[in-house]
Amino acid sequence: MNDQITRLEQAREYLQKYYGYPDFREGQRKIVESILTGGDTLGIMPTGGGKSICYQIPALIFSGLTLVISPLISLMKDQVDGLLTMGISAAYINSTLSGKEVNERIRAAKRGELKLLYVAPERLELDWFREEMNSLEISCVAVDEAHCVSQWGHDFRTSYLAVYPFVNGLPKRPIVAAFTATATPEVMDDMISLLRLNKPSVFVTGLGRDNLAMSVLRGENKREYVLKYAMEHSHQPGIVYAATRKEVDDLYERLRGSGIPAGRYHAGLSDREREQSQEAFLYDDIRVMVATNAFGMGIDKSNVRYVIHFNMPKNMEAYVQEAGRAGRDGEPSECILLFSPQDIMTQKFLIEQNPQDQDRKRNEYRKLQQMIEYCYSTQCLRWAMLDYFGEAHDHKPCGTCSSCTDERELVDMTRDAQIVFSCIHRMRERFGVSLVSSVLKGSKNKKVLQYNFDHLPTYGMMRERTEKEISELINTFIAEGYLALSEGQYPIVRLQTLAGDVLKGQHQVMMRAPEPSHSSGVESSYSRRRRSAYDESPSAVNETVFEQLRLIRRELAEKEHVPSYIIFNDATLREMSVVCPTREADMLKIKGVGEMKFRKYGTVFLDFFQNME
């Protein structure tokens, strides 16, 4: 027990010395404690939650090497660059290195000169690499993005299945610690089973990040919204995700044509184009990255202030991971999803285009429907997200999402609900949202007439509305649990128990009054409120000083050939601009300024503040 306390104290000392933080976050502390006691560990932590610290700190304490399984070259480089700036001995081995460079790094590991070595999972399948690793003292194997091991996850990668045989083949089994940002209970079970974690301690920590304002906006003119938002936030880095290469290219050209420094990233570009665009974004040479979901995993850029989804993503896991790339430094940031019904058709098309077995396809459709329900939900979006991932929460509204800040009055929609539910019942719960909408509209399309639905009492009872408005109403009832959809490409809408109570007059349906569709250049009320709140929020930060600090940081980063956030992140610079430290002791109290970084960079910043006096 005393040894355990000593190790935890040592971990805190290293945290202050190298990272500049006085103590761990609650979730981090428990995970570090678990790993230090020698137990296999599974950590589900949000993007920006500090997962890497959880295995990097124990790596400094363990006598041997920590081998980190990492899926992307860019992620490895970012992590190693960051460690080296803090004075921690680390290296990576990947396809960008020559054979000679690989051998040099393995020899350094054998000499005990490295505490962390990053490799891709595919390397574990190579006989020669396994033989080399067998001659090392490996204390811990840290598996990053561990959800990739599950075929039910959103980034299944068969090479992750090589982790267990590799670990099992080592002369002495190391501790195995697995980490990911998002995982449903089903994927968590897969990670434990397929990685063969030995009685692991499992930690799920705070997926709902307080600094992120989540919103779903419907009815916006998407292109104009993105252009206007990017122009009004031109001083802030942001990511715009689109579902197809064509949409990425179109948005990229429009942003560039409006004078906004933008980059693009999708699988249709050459490796060199993608690399140049990514590097320009990381180094703040461009402010906006327009990309498909091919961009992002492992991008450790901490100062992304907004993520806009131009289209609805395919599932909640993908959405939370992509949106979570905003505000990794803990500063207030926005995650905006621009939804339109056409997004549903796009995602269904992409599912059908992807060759996969029927079970997996059914699972993709089920996840897509859950994503659709999120887009139509009127409850707190943070609740909806936490419920999806099975994380317990206190059911306090977040107060910042588009649902919580919705000021439209509640109106009694019971009569409309009864009409919709009655129509579905009379159609024997055998058809989808589109045909139900056509019947309620009073359409004379071929299918309505073929089934004699024009003779139903509910036929045309909502003729004053458009079919789109009726479909949106039905989808809202689905999101609120009154209705459910079957799985598959052509889902059937069915009544739930709550709908029966409404039809019997035993339950009242209260909903927000519909917000009119927004014409060109007109913002939703949510957009106006968020913009107003952003503009009027009080801050002790001296923006002039902050911008000068960013210039100093940029000069240092260019000399070191690393992205600016590797030196200090925005949150650290903001705290500096408030404190204005003129002594070493004051500087070391600022979060993110460790002893090693102070030695390398602190004097330049101290000189700046001393000259201000």
- Residue-level pLDDT at 521: 41
Interatomic CA distance for residues 81 and 76, integer angstroms:
8
- Residue-level pLDDT at 18: 93
- Residue-level pLDDT at 77: 86
- Residue-level pLDDT at 522: 39
pLDDT tens profile 203-246 = 988 677 888 999 999 878 899 999 999 999 988 999 999 999 99
Higher pLDDT, 535 or 110: 110
- Write out the H or E segment, with its range, that includes residue 484: strand 483-485
pLDDT confidence bin for 518, thresholds 50/70/90: very low
pLDDT tens profile 253-272 = 999 999 999 999 998 999 89
- Residue-level pLDDT at 298: 57
- Residue-level pLDDT at 609: 92
3-state secondary structure (DSSP) of residue 62: coil
- 307 forms beta bridges with 239, 335
Interatomic CA distance for residues 137 and 64, integer angstroms:
5
What's the one-letter identity of residue 138? I
Q: Is the pLDDT of residue 433 over 90?
A: yes
pLDDT confidence bin for 513, thresholds 50/70/90: low
- The interaxial angle of helices 467-479 and 358-376, nearest 10 deg, is 100
Half-sphere exposure in the Cβ direction for 296 (13 Å, CA): 27
Helix ranges restricted to H, 427-542: 433-441, 446-450, 467-479, 497-503, 525-536
Q: Is the pLDDT of residue 520 over 90?
A: no
Q: Is the pLDDT of residue 15 over 80?
A: yes
- Residue-level pLDDT at 345: 84
Average pLDDT of the residues in 360-366: 87
Instruction: Give CB contacts under 8 A, 24+ apart, made by 319-323.
Output: 319/371, 319/374, 320/46, 320/47, 320/181, 320/182, 320/207, 320/385, 320/389, 321/47, 321/154, 321/181, 321/182, 321/296, 321/297, 322/239, 322/241, 322/293, 322/296, 323/212, 323/214
Interatomic CA distance for residues 48 and 412, integer angstroms:
41
pLDDT tens profile 99-158 = 999 999 999 999 999 999 999 999 999 999 999 999 999 999 999 999 999 887 667 889
Provide CB contacts within 8 A for 59, sequence distance 6+: 65, 66, 115, 116, 139, 140, 142
- Residue-level pLDDT at 156: 81
CB-CB neighbours of 366 under 10 Å: 16
Average pLDDT of the residues in 487-499: 89
What's the one-letter identity of residue 15? L
Higher pLDDT, 24 or 356: 24
Number of continuous H segments (helices) and E segments (strands) in the chain? 27, 17
pLDDT tens profile 451-479 = 999 999 999 999 999 998 999 899 889 98
Contact 94, 42 (CB under 8 A): no
Calculate the dihedral angle through the C-alpha atoms of 467, 473, 478, 482, rounding to the nearest 10 degrees.
Answer: -120
DSSP state of 222: H
Domains in the chain, please, with CATH?
A: 2-204 (3.40.50.300), 212-388 (3.40.50.300), 410-514 (1.10.10.10), 543-612 (1.10.150.80)
- The interaxial angle of helices 222-232 and 245-257, nearest 10 deg, is 50
pLDDT tens profile 553-604 = 999 998 888 888 889 988 899 999 999 999 999 999 999 999 989 999 999 9
Contact 495, 429 (CB under 8 A): yes
- For the chain, the residue count is 613
CB-CB neighbours of 126 under 10 Å: 12
DSSP state of 180: E
Q: Is the pLDDT of residue 515 over 70?
A: no
- For the chain, state the CA radius of gyration: 26
